[in-house]
Chain A
């Protein structure tokens, strides 16, 4: 690729245009020829009207953990929808469109289900507010809407699709051929992925490949390429890489970490975790249950945790709220559970399809009483895998709930990742009672590290009572000052032990030593910060970032050392209150500069970069 560090591509169409399928093939191909990719089809902000779909992806030579604000290449399978996407296109962006449509108003509206009535009223759109409005072809053809420096390439998508497959539905494949030719993407990989996607069914595969070739050849013969973008093959081997989204990574981690029970209730955007596990977990000897509500889901997981197996549930904000009582219960009864919360816009039902980082307060503080819990927030798909697996280990070892906070962006964005195999010692971490312990078994035995040996149901002489009541070492409910004090201390001591033994130092990225600006970030926003810091460092700016994955407990000493190095400290996050900055403010005497958005979309690297540059100039 020339000219830019990364390129962002959008394929926009109506629901029948199969733009997402085209996007999948494209991103797979780019990954195969050596690019790092990140796609987020839910990204485009204005999905309105009927069935507008946009495949959105970014590809580059270096690892990328965030999206760009601007699009470089816009492929239109439906001009009317694509026109709305133009406002995100770079000033020197490329537009590919169908330059031989039969009748542009008719065609565009045809694709726009249920909105055309050409025979009676002529092409137009009916809306509640404005009634019937005639549409001119200028309004629905993208060709007249480009900015002056943009590049427009026309390919007769409809004609070529008809010619090769006798239907107009293969326009998405024709355009992939054109994209391959325009941006020098090796053809063989493309065709391989295309046929793999279709499956080797019948002759129709040949005609679809022919559609691809037509799109390719048309560009080679007719189009003068003027834009500087290209994707030649890179000499990097991405064989060990897999394309997956955060949900898939979480599910895979559960399988690999030996999770034997998953219980959940469908909720966007976490549902896919359950779907994947329904298909996969039984093959690995696990059970999956779709429960009547999230309370039942966490109840199932609690029962399994009590029974001594690794178990998990995944949900989003509203479901997480229902689970809250159980968080306290798991703290009190010292039962290991893993709860994945994929955050979406809130409060209440909120914005089910939009990303946000606003459940942090709830994850950290939700529930009554003094309730220590471990909260981890992966920043990338790769870390979704690593830290979900880690969550099982931590939950089991410290007999407490571990909350994995991800968000809709991480859940749904597909990236090519190479997963590191899990270390063996992470696979079983129960602190089981010794023979000595079994002489007089104490479920809630006071220990130095706070962790009591845990007998599992069915163990001889291991009789125990656990409950949500305060208890003494035997597990007998007690309400006296002494017991409540030592038991609360014991529960918090586990957190301290975890901090000392199992929480890694947060990763510092960027300039060493003293810096003008430090950025502390968490969750998916840390991806945007990492990308931004990487790029301002190349400009020689004095910046460093600290990436926090374990949000509770905090590595205070290491964080303080970082703060001491920074003239100013910025904490960007995708929520209104600055929940993470607030959390840090509890722990450190420092003024944190905030950068908060409730944007309904991920913060982009360029937004962070602009903020960094602004603060450096101040």
Chain B
């Protein structure tokens, strides 16, 4: 337990950030805790996103904690504001509205955004993303305007989304290859099993192929593949993996690779700065190597470990137990996610 009251600033209002905030509050009741998030919405449960499309519930139904939790725990939430710079020497953040925010100890848990393969970068404006509460809200508003969707790639949320689309009477096509179903432990057997399951759900699967082009066709879209297939669709969802949100670290001197490099104590190369969740590339002693992690389970665990270290309770990281998702009675192993299913 710390004696001195510090100001802890957490960048990111996701699983890692909130789990860290909770741990910090327990460990240091008198300290200042601030969460800064670029998102206008608040910490939500990913596994509820798809079901959110099916009902008329308020966006707050997605939220993990009610606002009163933050009030009761005296955790300051700063939503809809973006950190543009970190200055480790001054222990200072600069926000996009030119405010300078001081921290004693900083946790970067800024998460990740959908990965846009280079080959598809030209078609960014034609692709729809479905990663957070705002995406879900926007999609729900136009549910009546489309009938067919195509998943460019696939991931857990993609499966989950497909489930919701089926339930809404939309038809679904997956364009898959092994690179873009990355949260699952993926090999040929897993792939065949997965394709079988999807087909059982009357989902069209275009396997061992890649989306190469997306063309506007009136109000609709044509998704073209490497093997010459043309999928006529209304919406093309980008579900090809994630990249860490670390643009704002440019010039900060903090070591990054894919994500922010942290040691087994989640500490970055800069003094008093830790990183956790999908934005971090973590050194696992068990692997004697760095690994990019994904998913709620990992993020919560890493957030918690970071917080312990920020409270000077030295705690090293270890690999999480693998989880599973179930499709048509078949289990698939994942590292990091839980609660997702196509059978919603």
Residues of A within 8 A of B (CB): 91, 97-104, 136-138, 141, 143-144, 146-149, 151-154, 223-224, 226
**Among A103, A104, A138, A153, which residue has its beta carbon within 8 angstroms of that of B102?**
A138
Verify B67–A144 contact, CB threshold 8 A.
no
- Residues of B close to A224: CB separation below 8 A: 40-41, 134, 137
CB proximity to A under 8 Å, residues B43-94:
59, 67-68, 70-71, 75-81
**Which partner residue on chain B sits nearest A102 by CB separation?**
B98
Chain B interface: which size bin?
20 to 34
Residues of A within 8 A of B137 (CB): 224, 226
Bound state CA distance, A29 and B98, in angstroms? 33
- B100 interface hit (Cβ, 8 Å): yes
Known contacts A152-B81, A154-B80, A226-B41: A103-B70 contact under CB 8 Å: no
What residues of A have a CB within 8 angstroms of the CB of B102 in the complex?
136, 138
Residue of A nearest to B135 (CB): A224
Bound form: Cα–Cα A154–B41 in Å = 14
What are some 19 contacts across the A-B interface (CB < 8 A)? Answer: A97-B97, A99-B81, A99-B96, A99-B97, A101-B98, A104-B97, A104-B98, A138-B99, A138-B101, A141-B95, A141-B97, A143-B95, A143-B97, A144-B101, A148-B77, A151-B79, A151-B80, A152-B78, A224-B41
B99/A98 in contact, CB under 8 A? no
CB–CB B71/A98 < 8 A: no
Bound state CA distance, A143 and B98, in angstroms?
A: 11
Q: Is B97 a contact of A101 with CB atoms below 8 Å? A: yes
Interface of B is mostly: mixed
How far in angstroms is the closest Cβ of chain A from B36?
9
Q: Could you say which residues of chain A place their CB within 8 Å of the CB of B67?
A: 91, 147-149
Residues of B within 8 A of A223 (CB): 40
Contact across chains for B78 and A146 when beta carbons are under 8 A apart:
yes
Task: Tell me, rounded to whole Å, the shortest Cβ–Cβ distance linking A565 to chain B.
Answer: 42
Contact status A152-B79, CB under 8 Å: yes
A99 to B: closest C-beta gap in Å: 4
CA distance A223 to B80 in the complex (A): 9
Q: Is B34 an interface residue (CB 8 A)?
A: yes
A22, B75: Cα distance in complex, Å: 35
Bound CA–CA A141/B67 (angstroms):
22
Chain A contacts of B98 at CB under 8 A?
100-104, 137
Q: Tell me whether A226 and B40 are in contact (CB under 8 A).
A: yes
Instruction: Beyond the given A137-B98, A148-B70, please list 19 additional residue pairs across the A-B interface where CB-CB is below 8 A.
Output: A98-B97, A99-B97, A100-B96, A101-B98, A104-B98, A104-B99, A136-B102, A138-B100, A144-B34, A144-B101, A147-B67, A147-B71, A148-B75, A153-B40, A153-B80, A154-B80, A154-B97, A224-B40, A224-B134
Tell whether, in the assembled complex, residue B99 and residue A137 are in contact, meaning their CB atoms are under 8 Å apart.
yes
A176 and B70 CA atoms in complex are apart in Å by: 32
User: In the complex the two chains form, is A151's CB within 8 Å of B71's CB?
Assistant: no
B100 touches A137 (CB 8 A): yes
State in angstroms the CA–CA spacing of A370 and B75 once bound together: 65
- Taking CB atoms and an 8 Å cut-off, the chain B residues in 262-307 that contact chain A are none
Shortest distance from the beta carbon of B16 to any chain A beta carbon, whole Å:
19
Question: Is A148 in contact with B71, judged by CB distance below 8 angstroms?
Answer: yes
Q: Which residue of B lies closest to A149 (CB)?
A: B67
Shortest distance from the beta carbon of B206 to any chain A beta carbon, whole Å: 33
Report Cα–Cα, A5/B96, bound state, in Å: 36
User: Which residue of B has the minimal Cβ distance to A143?
Assistant: B81
